[in-house]
Chains A and B, each alone.
Chain A
Amino acid sequence: MEWKEEGDKRPLSQRPEWSDVTPVPQDDGPNPVVPIAYKDDFTETMDYFRAVYFADERSLRSLHVTAEAILMNAGNYTVWHFRRLILEALNADLHEELDFIKKVANGNPKNYQIWHHRRWVAEKLGTDATSEELDFTKKILSLDAKNYHAWSHRQWVLQELGGWEDELDYCKQLLEDDIFNNSAWNQRYFVITKSPFLGGLEAMRESEVNYTVGAIIAKPENESPWRYLRGLYKDDTQSWVNDPQVSSVCLKVLSAKRSTVFALSTLLDLLCHGFQPSQDFINAVDALKTPDLDLSDSNLATAVCSVLGRMDPMRVNYWTWRKNKLPAQTA
């Protein structure tokens, strides 16, 4: 069963292998809203699809017409569903199907139905498909490192079929390409928490904190590593508050006086959770104040909110609200 690269380009009505089939038009009925100006070739392909679908003909020519219909409209889940029935009936070579999907995905990398179909095939192939699936998603991600579907599929492959060994390295490489790639940070979190080779979040915490602090120092304006750092202490806020690496990276960034917004908001959160700041913190925040701010009477948390209102004016209403909500005894 070959997937013909250069298929018959004649209209279906002119192809001999279809001469016995009567195409079935769409029964549209009245069209009060959003009718679509279908092109003729689209209409014809779908008319022939309807014919074999209705007759439940699970043959090779049916398979071919589903391919043509899919290439015109990859979103039609009815066509995909029937294609799956045909593939099963014909006991088709599913490795070839992976090639077909690759071809369709090239033009439609963000289509849900294609990825669902890919998963269906991979599920049937099982661990035989592991390296091919990791390769496929890697290729898609090399074109768009944030393709949400590719990441979901890749996570599914890892969990169902395995292949974890090189995943942390892959994340590291993607982050070297682009330290701002939030999808790669998310995948990193996924790997350190779920990989059977790595021992889990707590075991990985120390090395991950080191890595993340490095990323923050390199680009303090990057939201991703700040969120990731907090995430390393998920469900254990006290350890996050008590880890000297967390507060010290805030201090470093504040002292450098560049791109301080995330350092300030992290410090604010630490203070709200009971962090006891040293004089260094008070001095660093003080050094950031603008002439119009009178911070002399403020406690540190209040001062931080005021400075944030200036440094991050888009969210000034939020920082004011945070200031008003501060418990009286915050440092």
Chain B
Amino acid sequence: MDSQWSSSSFFDREKHVVFLQMMNQLLPADYQGQEINRLTLAYFAISGLHILGALDQVDKEEVSSWVLSLQAHPRNEAELNNGQFFGFHGSRSSQFPRDDNGVLIHNGSHLASTYCALAILKIVGYNFSCINSKSILTSMRNLQQPDGSFMPTHVGAETDLRFVFCAAAICSMLENWSGMDKEKAKEYILNCQSYDGGFGLIPGSESHGGATYCAVASLQLMGFIENDILSKSSSSSIINVPLLLDWSLQRQAADGGFQGRANKASDTCYAFWVGGVLRILGGYKFIDKKALHRFLLTCQSQYGGFSKFPGQLPDLYHSYYGFSAFSMLEEPGLIPICVELGIADIAAIGH
């Protein structure tokens, strides 16, 4: 029997669990270039195992301690208000001890790492009342720009919709919206809606599946659009929903997969990004699930995990979004996900 064929005819849950276990144990040197985002890689591995129904493979206490060790804490009220962001570092490579005078000069806290940290803590059921959320929420405001967008670190970096999403997800998980000005964030998001109904990463840029997810998930989390808006009789919305729906559905290409932009190749991860948009709007029922299922299986690796395109080697990012996509397709053995937070439903609701 041709082993490549057999791994393409069904979702091989067991193989994926082994793949994640291996990644969890040790990532090959190819991942050196992503070391600054180790927390994100950990999120993919842990949330992935959770979705696959294999969270028992994870030592929850060890993971919680490690994640919490990456948090930056202000010494006092004055330090909290000095303009820095006190969140989580992505890894030790951006985390440095205080200097000899006890001053924290090197604070590499990052908004995306903070999102991943909190997501992991939700997944392992950590008691959120034990988290120092005040310093996160207070200092997060330093990252919001006058146009409503967010910078990921206080030392300066690009600002775009990805970090608006991170901010919204953080506030949602901490159940406290004092970390951001929602109205301003909403304005920025609306400025990102393109002429064709999708959203670009910054105002003026091309509509993109990932950016559209960030826009719609953020608006939903912030309460500016209702869940399953397509089933509701109210026709008004702050975004052009019919155009967005049409654009999103058109992203399912002839090969059954989802593309990130018009006239580009299908890629595994957009089954989550764009599929997620449709799920939030209540339009997931309009896709061709069989065709998507078929396409995704062509991206399933014989080694476990998923690749971006058919026939390539798997990576952690595309594997995670592949698993998320199969969860949305209600693959047996997988647990349901809360699309707008990017974690399992049960983690989002709380233990």
Q: Are B69 and A29 in contact (CB under 8 A)?
A: yes
Cβ of A2 to closest chain B Cβ, rounded Å: 27
Cross-chain pair count, CB within 8 angstroms: 174
Q: Are B158 and A54 in contact (CB under 8 A)?
A: no
Task: Report if A36-B32 is in contact (Cβ < 8 Å); known contacts: A182-B264, A231-B195, A315-B288.
Answer: yes
Q: Are B195 and A189 in contact (CB under 8 A)?
A: yes
Q: Are A77 and B157 in contact (CB under 8 A)?
A: yes
Cβ of B152 to closest chain A Cβ, rounded Å: 8
Q: Does A58 contact B (CB under 8 A)?
A: no
Cβ of B77 to closest chain A Cβ, rounded Å: 26
Q: Are A75 and B250 in contact (CB under 8 A)?
A: no
List 24 A–B pairs whose Cβ atoms lie within 8 Å, in order of A's numbering: A26-B92, A30-B62, A31-B66, A32-B62, A34-B23, A36-B31, A46-B93, A53-B106, A56-B105, A73-B36, A77-B108, A77-B155, A78-B36, A84-B156, A182-B262, A194-B204, A224-B263, A228-B196, A234-B195, A313-B288, A314-B291, A315-B252, A316-B288, A318-B283
Residue of A nearest to B198 (CB): A227
Residue of B nearest to A39 (CB): B29
Q: Are A230 and B27 in contact (CB under 8 A)?
A: no
State the CA gap A35–B256 with chains docked (Å): 36
Q: Are A42 and B32 in contact (CB under 8 A)?
A: yes
Residue of B nearest to A194 (CB): B204
State the CA gap A181–B29 with chains docked (Å): 36
What are the residues of chain B within 8 A of A321 when measuring CB–CB? 286
Cβ of A215 to closest chain B Cβ, rounded Å: 13
Q: Are A34 and B45 in contact (CB under 8 A)?
A: yes
Residue of B nearest to A226 (CB): B196
State the CA gap A231–B63 with chains docked (Å): 49
Q: Does A211 contact B (CB under 8 A)?
A: no
Q: Does A38 contact B (CB under 8 A)?
A: yes
Cβ of A188 to closest chain B Cβ, rounded Å: 11
Cβ of B218 to closest chain A Cβ, rounded Å: 19
Q: Are A314 and B93 in contact (CB under 8 A)?
A: no
Q: Are B249 and A73 in contact (CB under 8 A)?
A: no
Q: Are B262 and A224 in contact (CB under 8 A)?
A: yes
Q: Are A26 and B93 in contact (CB under 8 A)?
A: yes
What are the residues of chain A within 8 A of B38 when measuring CB–CB? 34, 36
- Quick one: CB contact mask for B201-239 with A, threshold 8 Å, 1 for yes? 110111110000000000000000000000000000000
Query: A112-140: which have CB < 8 Å to B?
Result: 112-113, 115-116, 119-120
Chain B positions near chain A (C-beta within 8 angstroms):
23-29, 31-38, 41-42, 45-46, 58-59, 62-63, 65-66, 69, 92-94, 96-97, 105-106, 108, 110, 153, 155-158, 194-197, 200-202, 204-208, 243, 246-247, 249-250, 252, 254, 256, 261-264, 283, 285-288, 291
Q: Are A33 and B42 in contact (CB under 8 A)?
A: yes
What are the residues of chain B within 8 A of A37 when measuring CB–CB? 26-29
Q: Does A190 contact B (CB under 8 A)?
A: yes
Cβ of A143 to closest chain B Cβ, rounded Å: 16
Q: Are B157 and A152 in contact (CB under 8 A)?
A: no
What are the residues of chain B within 8 A of A181 when measuring CB–CB? 263
Query: A287-331: which have CB < 8 Å to B?
Result: 313-318, 321
- Quick one: CB contact mask for A49-72 with B, threshold 8 Å, 1 for yes? 010011010000000000000001
Chain A residues with a Cβ closer than 8 Å to the other chain, count = 64
Picked from A72, A116, A120, A182, the residue with its CB within 8 Å of the CB of B261 is A182
Q: Does A155 contact B (CB under 8 A)?
A: yes
Q: Are B41 and A34 in contact (CB under 8 A)?
A: yes
Q: Are B94 and A78 in contact (CB under 8 A)?
A: yes
Q: Does A166 contact B (CB under 8 A)?
A: no
Task: Report if A190-B27 is in contact (Cβ < 8 Å); known contacts: A146-B264, A223-B250.
Answer: no
Query: A215-239: which have CB < 8 Å to B?
Result: 222-224, 227-228, 230-231, 234
What are the residues of chain B within 8 A of A46 when measuring CB–CB? 93
Cβ of B115 to closest chain A Cβ, rounded Å: 16
State the CA gap A119–B69 with chains docked (Å): 33
State the CA gap A32–B155 with chains docked (Å): 29
State the CA gap A36–B42 with chains docked (Å): 11
- Quick one: CB contact mask for A65-105 with B, threshold 8 Å, 1 for yes? 00000001111111001001000000000000000000000
What are the residues of chain B within 8 A of A120 when measuring CB–CB? 156
State the CA gap A29–B63 with chains docked (Å): 12
State the CA gap A223–B196 with chains docked (Å): 10
- Quick one: CB contact mask for A20-48 with B, threshold 8 Å, 1 for yes? 00000011111111111111001000100
